[in-house]
Amino acid sequence: MPRGLGTGLWRKTAPALALSLVLLVAGEEVPAASGNAPRPASPWGGDARTSGTPKRTERPAGQNARPAVPVRAQQSGPQNSSTDWVLTFSDDFDGDSLNEAKWSNGFGWGQSTRSDYGWCDAANNVVSGGVLAQRIDKRPKGGQPFSVGCIHSKNKFAQQYGYWEARIRAARCYGSRTAFWGKPNDESWPPEVDVVEVNGDGPDRARRAKFTVHWRGNGRHLQNQGEYAGPDFSENYHVYGAEWSPEGVTWFVDGVERYRTAAGASALDDGGSFYTILNSQVIDRRSMCGDIPSRSASYVDWVRVWTPAPIEARPPVGPPEDGEPKGEGNCRFPVRLQAETPLPPGSGEASGAVASQRFSGLGWFIRDSGNPASLYAFRLDPKGPPKVREVPVTGAANRDWEDLAYAIGPDGRARLYIIESGQSGGHHFVYEVPEPDPGAARTAPARRYRYEFPNHRGTNVESAFMVGRHLALVTKTSPGRIYRFDAFSESGVNRGKYMGVLADADRVSVVRLSPDRRTMVAASHTQAFVYEGLPPVTPIRGVVGKKPNRITRIDNGVNVEAGDWFPSGSCQLLLLAENRNTYRLRLGEPVPQSGRATASLD
């Protein structure tokens, strides 16, 4: 169970305890953050009157409770285990507003709490002094008698398997519920994992923490629930955690295991990646919430999500798809997505891109319909401005070029495959071009191959990737369909072999298989879908039908169109957007590059 970076009761990194939040109403104390943020104002308005800190939470250990195994920050792991843990998501609720890059108001499906008596109102999520307060107001809205606070990470962060943990002080009013939970990013239900639910069971107390998994079996909704009757969870902050693995779910309170179950494990797996939800709500129409505001809110100090890494690859199934995988075998978990230097003005939209395996630090991109039939050599130099140089392609016409793929042939020569989508009408074509020197006046003559998909002749394609000498194309459909081409002929029509679907990948424009073939990333205009633990000998068969292990949000409105592992052989996916912005999705440490030529674009 990961516990680094402040996942114990008090943050080890905080040099001092924060001042507490105190409400004017009824003069009752509201919990303080564990960091160094200034003392916040009341979430109902007004200034805090006094200072103080919450009492140190006790760590009770019952007779049957097994102490949780601590995990240190980053790249560490539980004792007696070979598994490492990596922090993939966190929020300390610093500042004075919700981080919209991580959270949205409400639930993934909307503002209604459905079976309850509340409506999610953005005004009920108050961030101040390092704490998220989720108020419950007796204020009708959306046809419901109460307004409540709810936030979710759908389409911004989602993950399959790992450890979810948050430091929370529950609401205490009768009829309230404080909830920390997750469900599939595709909004299917069940399955669901409730990290914790604490009900205000009155009078003015909340002493039962409930842990639940929901799933569907034999056409019915099924659930398994555990409970821990502890102290009044509305008096102080407590740390609630749940570890989800293929074997089931284990729950912790303040670092002590309180419940575990294997029930519904396979059905949970079928849900793919789960997004995270934090909310207050009302579960009884007779609720007294809102009568005394200081008792009618839950408080979240921080939330963390971890992933186990590395994820072991599944055993190979079937004959090898081609050759041996390359790379260091460390492209197994996303670390972060960061913005990079934009391409120079005048570069235009890059519709496909690859990293050169011959020229260190060099990449190639193409542009789509209405642009010249050219390759563009580019270099992103951290010590200087980005550089781009055009190299016309001999014997080719750009009707609608959408992606590039790169391969080293049996003769040792590097080849670029230019994929034409066919969406502008007419036939689909692939152009094969020997990789030119970036200083060349033009390329060698291109070969042209006509291709089509069985039963889907008019389908648009914007993404391609290589597995050894096999070219795979992914359709821009929901979900994407994968077709594999084992060889090309200039005479006749080349028909791809249908391999299956890329689950949940919605209209993707970039698909790349990591150098070690254990991870695949598929990017749409605004999201990256990450598929981990693939069998390196048969990665296409391994990814077909597999739910993504996590989903990472890319900036809204940038329209990612191209990308590749850059530099070649690394675990860093460089993404190029329509507006010339570039982004780097880091999946691990880069593989050292050596023994390759260098080229200047000057």
The answer on 398 and 481 residing in a single domain is yes
Question: Average pLDDT, stretch 393-408?
Answer: 93
Strands (E), 344-422: 352-355, 363-366, 374-379, 387-392, 401-408, 414-420
% pLDDT > 90, the chain: 41
Between 597 and 546, the more confident residue is: 546
The answer on 303 and 160 residing in a single domain is yes
Between 166 and 47, the more confident residue is: 166
Q: Is the peptide bond before 567 cis (omega within 30 degrees of 0)?
A: yes
What pLDDT does residue 237 have?
96
The answer on 402 and 264 residing in a single domain is no
The answer on 305 and 345 residing in a single domain is no
From 237-246, 267-276, 440-449, 509-518, the region with the lowest mean pLDDT? 267-276
Question: Average pLDDT, stretch 304-318?
Answer: 56
Question: Average pLDDT, stretch 81-92?
Answer: 73
Identify the band that residue 2 occupies on the pLDDT scale cut at 50, 70 and 90.
very low
What pLDDT does residue 401 have?
93
Identify the band that residue 196 occupies on the pLDDT scale cut at 50, 70 and 90.
very high
Whether residue 558 is contained in a domain is answered as yes
- For the cut 60, the answer to whether the pLDDT of residue 70 exceeds it is no
The answer on 414 and 359 residing in a single domain is yes
What pLDDT does residue 87 have?
83
- Distance between CA 547 and CA 273 in Å, rounded? 7
- Distance between CA 420 and CA 204 in Å, rounded? 66
The answer on 368 and 304 residing in a single domain is no
Whether residue 478 is contained in a domain is answered as yes
Whether residue 15 is contained in a domain is answered as no
CATH no. for residue 42?
2.60.120.200
The answer on 408 and 281 residing in a single domain is no
- Distance between CA 224 and CA 318 in Å, rounded? 37
This prediction has a pTM of 0.59
Question: Average pLDDT, stretch 298-308?
Answer: 91
Identify the band that residue 310 occupies on the pLDDT scale cut at 50, 70 and 90.
very low
Q: Per DSSP, what are the bridge partners of residue 575? A: 563, 583
Total of domains in the chain: 2
Question: Residues 31, 37, 38, 43: is their CA dihedral positive or negative?
Answer: negative
- For the cut 90, the answer to whether the pLDDT of residue 505 exceeds it is no
What pLDDT does residue 590 have?
40
Query: How far is the CA of 213 from the CAs of 144, 189, 244, 268, 439, in angstroms?
Result: 27, 12, 10, 8, 60
- For the cut 70, the answer to whether the pLDDT of residue 240 exceeds it is yes
Identify the band that residue 377 occupies on the pLDDT scale cut at 50, 70 and 90.
very high
Identify the band that residue 409 occupies on the pLDDT scale cut at 50, 70 and 90.
confident
- For the cut 70, the answer to whether the pLDDT of residue 407 exceeds it is yes
Supply angle C-alpha 562, 564, 570, rounded to 5: 160
Which of 509, 482, 516 shows the shortest CA–CA distance to 587? 516
Contact between residue 467 and residue 322 where contact means Cβ atoms under 8 Å apart: yes
Q: Of 256, 290, 309, which residue sits at a domain end? A: 309
What pLDDT does residue 335 have?
55
Residues sharing a CB contact under 8 Å with residue 548, sequence separation 6 or more, in sequence order: 158, 160, 272, 273, 503, 504, 505, 522, 529, 530, 531
**CA–centroid distance for 234 within its chain:** 32
SS3 446: coil
Range(s) of the domain holding residue 479: 336-586
- Residue 290 corresponds to which tokens in the numbers above? 């809102």
Q: Per DSSP, what are the bridge partners of residue 109? A: none
Identify the band that residue 23 occupies on the pLDDT scale cut at 50, 70 and 90.
very low
Question: Average pLDDT, stretch 114-137?
Answer: 92
Which of 30, 27, 34 shows the shortest CA–CA distance to 56? 34
Question: Average pLDDT, stretch 218-227?
Answer: 94
Question: Residues 390, 391, 392, 393: is their CA dihedral positive or negative?
Answer: negative
The answer on 352 and 301 residing in a single domain is no
- Residue 413 corresponds to which tokens in the numbers above? 């020569």
- For the cut 90, the answer to whether the pLDDT of residue 521 exceeds it is yes
Whether residue 516 is contained in a domain is answered as yes
The answer on 239 and 383 residing in a single domain is no
The answer on 347 and 294 residing in a single domain is no
Residues sharing a CB contact under 8 Å with residue 29, sequence separation 6 or more, in sequence order: 20, 21, 22, 23, 50, 52
Q: Of 292, 309, 326, which residue sits at a domain end? A: 309
What pLDDT does residue 303 have?
96
The answer on 282 and 152 residing in a single domain is yes
Identify the band that residue 134 occupies on the pLDDT scale cut at 50, 70 and 90.
very high
Whether residue 9 is contained in a domain is answered as no
Whether residue 286 is contained in a domain is answered as yes
- Distance between CA 282 and CA 175 in Å, rounded? 6
Question: Average pLDDT, stretch 117-128?
Answer: 94
Identify the band that residue 489 occupies on the pLDDT scale cut at 50, 70 and 90.
very high
* SS3 readout for 238-286: EEEEEEEECCEEEEEECCEEEEEECCCHHHHHHCCCEEEEEEEEECCCC
- For the cut 60, the answer to whether the pLDDT of residue 596 exceeds it is no
CATH no. for residue 475?
2.120.10.30
Provide the mean pLDDT of the chain: 78
What pLDDT does residue 601 have?
61
Between 311 and 490, the more confident residue is: 490
The answer on 505 and 367 residing in a single domain is yes
- Residue 547 corresponds to which tokens in the numbers above? 């739910």
Between 365 and 203, the more confident residue is: 365
- For the cut 80, the answer to whether the pLDDT of residue 534 exceeds it is yes
What pLDDT does residue 302 have?
97
B/e letters for 4-15, b = 16+ CB within 10 Å, e = fewer, are: bbbbbbebeebe
Question: Average pLDDT, stretch 350-376?
Answer: 91
Question: Average pLDDT, stretch 356-372?
Answer: 90
Whether residue 594 is contained in a domain is answered as no
Whether residue 199 is contained in a domain is answered as yes
